[in-house]
Amino acid sequence: MAKARSNRSVLVLAGDGIGPEIMREAMRVMEFFDRRRIASFEVSEGLVGGSAYDADGVPLTDATLARAQAADAVLFGSVGGPRWETLPFELQPERGLLKLRKEMDLFANLRPAQVFEALAEASSLKRDLVAGLDLLIVRELTGGIYFGDPRGIETMPDGTRRGINTEVYTEAEIERVVRAAFELAQKRAKRLCEVDKANVMESGLLWREVANRVKADYADVELSFMYADNCAMQLVRAPKQFDVIVTSNLFGDLLSDCAAMLTGSLGMLPSASLGAADAQGRRKALYEPVHGSAPDIAGKDLANPLACVLSLAMMLRYSFDLRDEADLVEKAVRATLAAGARTADIARSGETRLSTRSMGDAVLAALERAL
């Protein structure tokens, strides 16, 4: 399993709220690989979000952004919290994350929703609807209404105000993310569903047109289309109909929260945000749990670290091609859950609730056993 290369640079940005607690557990997994001489990482840490604001007056400094650009991979925790909610918009913690995504050009956001057998009961849906579920949402991450111009709040001549955001996609922006989704579908069940509101929005029409055109290069993948509102409904009606979904930034944000809950908890879902491959086949990448900073439980050692640990597994797979090691981490998480380990978010009444640290201990013990 051991690979010779040891110059894997990872910038860890734990962020705010539960970010630092869950990140500590993910970092122990990297330490495990190091200790067992399986793979080593050059880990450095930086600030992002509210904690960066507190230290430097901005949610992401240029220096931290430069370090992120230079790293082989960024491992990200979560940002935000009530302490910073009254800050001007441009200084809010979330702007740090959005700036990282945009400046690093991480256009393809992979959000897998997999139901672990041991957790099928924790889903809000009936067991048979979700057991075995394995779908992947590919969310466009650097365009659309999140970044489109014009935007802002402006005062009209009559003194009333209006808020403006713009959904705008170029063909090139659509094409690159759709291609990424086709390629992922080829490695899975070969079904891709493009999701939009082409019945209302011209940008959606363009998404359909581009997806249809690109399809010619992926003859083995079946392409279908769905309106976003219907997709939200189908996700809770019959989620197993999906293999890969590709959609815009905003719809992907909404649908991935919905898909996450099918798996029992938002605390379980990892994600990878990838840029384009360079000539050497290397891509910029950032890995982060789909959940937020959960200020209500921050600092209490209650948060579920598994989404962060599974994000690390995605990093091993997508940035470092350490497939066996990624499998090992996922297997350890599966074994931990199968043995009954539960943090509060996935525990049913009467079940023992582990702390963040104890869940990390359980994963590490499972890793040791799996070697």
Nearer to Mg ion, 253 or 288 (CB): 253
Q: Are 330 and 311 in contact (CB under 8 A)?
A: no
Q: Does 94 bind ligand IPM (CB under 6 A)?
A: yes
Contacts of 218 (CB under 8 A, 6+ apart): 182, 183, 185, 186, 192
Q: Which of 302, 216, 269 is nearest to 22 (CA)?
A: 302
Q: How far apart are CA 35 and CA 98, in angstroms?
A: 34
Amino acid at 57: G
Q: Does 330 bind ligand IPM (CB under 6 A)?
A: no
Binding span for Mg ion by CB under 5 A among 80-88, 205-213, 251-259, 328-336? 251-259
Binding span for ligand IPM by CB under 6 A among 94-102, 176-184, 234-242, 314-322? 94-102
* The token pair that represents 4 in the structure block: 């010779």
Which of the listed partners (ligand IPM, Mg ion, none) does 94 bind, with a CB threshold of 5 to 8 Å by partner kind? ligand IPM
Among this protein's residues, is 197 annotated catalytic?
yes
Among this protein's residues, is 146 annotated catalytic?
yes
Q: Does 25 bind ligand IPM (CB under 6 A)?
A: no
Q: Does 173 bind Mg ion (CB under 5 A)?
A: no
Instruction: Select the residue interacting with Mg ion from 16, 72, 173, 253 (CB under 5 A).
Output: 253
Instruction: Please count the residues of this chain forming the interface with ligand IPM, following the rule CB under 6 A.
Output: 4
Q: Which of 279, 309, 304 is nearest to 292 (CA)?
A: 304
CB of 98 to ligand IPM, least distance (A): 6
Binding span for ligand IPM by CB under 6 A among 1-9, 26-34, 92-100, 154-162? 92-100
From the candidates 16, 197, 318, 345, give the one annotated as an active-site residue.
Answer: 197
DSSP 145: G
Among this protein's residues, is 240 annotated catalytic?
no
Q: Are 341 and 359 in contact (CB under 8 A)?
A: yes
Q: How far apart are CA 126 and CA 20, in angstroms?
A: 34
CB of 105 to ligand IPM, least distance (A): 16
From the candidates 72, 196, 243, 253, give the one annotated as an active-site residue.
Answer: 253
CB of 116 to ligand IPM, least distance (A): 21
Which of the listed partners (ligand IPM, Mg ion, none) does 56 bind, with a CB threshold of 5 to 8 Å by partner kind? none
Nearer to Mg ion, 22 or 328 (CB): 22
Nearer to ligand IPM, 94 or 103 (CB): 94
**DSSP characters for 82-112?**
GGGTTS-GGGSHHHHHHHHHHHTT--EEEEE
- The distance from CA 123 to its chain's CA centroid, rounded to whole angstroms, is 19
Q: How far apart are CA 65 and CA 49, in angstroms?
A: 12
Among this protein's residues, is 318 annotated catalytic?
no
From the candidates 217, 229, 321, 324, give the one annotated as an active-site residue.
Answer: 229
Site for ligand IPM, residues 227 to 266, rule: CB under 6 A:
253
DSSP 303: S
Which of the listed partners (Mg ion, ligand IPM, none) does 97 bind, with a CB threshold of 5 to 8 Å by partner kind? ligand IPM
Among this protein's residues, is 253 annotated catalytic?
yes
Q: Which of 274, 328, 331, 26 is nearest to 136 (CA)?
A: 274
Binding span for Mg ion by CB under 5 A among 136-144, 248-256, 277-285, 329-337? 248-256
Q: Which of 74, 13, 78, 79 is nearest to 50 (CA)?
A: 79
* The token pair that represents 134 in the structure block: 């394995």
Q: Residue 330, by phi and psi: left (phi above 0), alpha (psi -120 to 50) or beta? A: alpha
List residues binding ligand IPM (CB under 6 A).
94, 97-98, 253
Residues annotated as part of the active site:
146, 197, 229, 253, 257
List residues binding Mg ion (CB under 5 A).
253
